[in-house]
Amino acid sequence: MKPKNHPLPRATEMAHRFVLERIRPGDRAIDATSGNGHDTLFLAKSVGPEGKVYAFDIQEQAIDATAAKTSGLPQVELFCLGHEEMDKVVSERVKTIMFNLGYLPKGDKTVITQTDTTLRALEAGIRLLDEGGLLSITLYEGHEGGQEEAEAVLTWAEGLDQADFYVARYQFLNLRNSPPSLLVIEKRH
C-alpha cells in the first residue's frame, strides 16, 4: 500500500502547537495582528471564559472580521490600534503573544506591517511577557518589504540575551514560493 502523505505543518500551524503547549484556561494572551480573527479565536478558546485575549489591528475591516468570529466570547477585547501601542492599553503580564506579519489575506495588500512599528511592538511584547511565556512571530518574505522586515526581526531576535530568552526558528528550506517561517521566543525569567 502507498504510504499516506503527511505534509509537514505550516508555520501558522506550528505557532498554534507551540502556544498550545504553554497556554492554560484562565491565562492572558495578546494577538498582535488580529486580521481575520483565526488566531484570536484560537487564543480565546485556549484561555476560556476565565482568561483574557487582547487583540490588535490597525484596519477596521480586520477588527470587524475578528469581532464577528469571536462574538459572544467575553474574554476577547479588541483594539483598532497599532500593536506598537500595546503597552498603553495592556497593564498586566501575559502568557503568550502571537504576531502574524504581512498583509490581511483577502484584504488590502498594500497595508502591511512595517519594520519600525513591528520592532517597537516586539520590544513592548517582550516586556509584557510573563516568566516562561512565549511570543510567536510568523514571518513572510514573499511580498514587497517582507524580506527587509523579516531580516530586521531576525537580527533583533538573534540579539536577545540568552540569559533571558530562548529563540528558535522553524522554516522550510526547499520550497520555491517563499512560505512563511516561524520564530518563537521564550522568556526565561
Ligand X SMILES: C[S@@+](CC[C@H](N)C(=O)[O-])C[C@H]1O[C@@H](n2cnc3c(N)ncnc32)[C@H](O)[C@@H]1O
Total number of residues binding ligand X (CB under 6 A)? 22
Q: How far is the CB of 62 from ligand X (least distance, A)?
A: 4
Q: Residue 149 corresponds to which amino acid?
A: E
Question: Candidates 14-22, 111-119, 124-132, 147-155 — which segment interacts with ligand X by CB under 6 A?
Answer: 111-119
Do residues 18 and 166 make contact, with C-beta atoms less than 8 angstroms apart? no
C-alpha span between 1 and 120 (Å, rounded): 53
Do residues 44 and 53 make contact, with C-beta atoms less than 8 angstroms apart? yes
Query: Which cell numbers hold the place of 106?
Result: 483577502
Binding-site member from 45, 48, 117, 169 for ligand X (CB under 6 A): 117
Residue whose Cβ sits closest to ligand X: 35
Q: How far is the CB of 4 from ligand X (least distance, A)?
A: 28
129 lines the binding site for ligand X (CB under 6 A):
no
Binders of ligand X among residues 54 to 93 (CB under 6 A) are: 56-59, 62, 82-84
State whether the Cα torsion 82-145-61-171 is positive or negative. negative
Do residues 53 and 39 make contact, with C-beta atoms less than 8 angstroms apart? no
Pairing of strands 94-100, 129-139: parallel
Nearer to ligand X, 22 or 83 (CB): 83
Question: Candidates 35-43, 125-133, 145-153, 168-176 — which segment interacts with ligand X by CB under 6 A?
Answer: 35-43
C-alpha span between 115 and 146 (Å, rounded): 9
Distances from the Cα of 160 to the Cα of 116, 183, 186, angstroms: 17, 13, 11
170 lines the binding site for ligand X (CB under 6 A):
no
Nearer to ligand X, 38 or 131 (CB): 38
Nearer to ligand X, 83 or 187 (CB): 83
44 lines the binding site for ligand X (CB under 6 A):
no
Query: Which cell numbers hold the place of 180?
Result: 512563511
Interface contacts to ligand X, rule CB under 6 A:
33-39, 56-59, 62, 82-84, 100, 102-104, 111, 113, 117
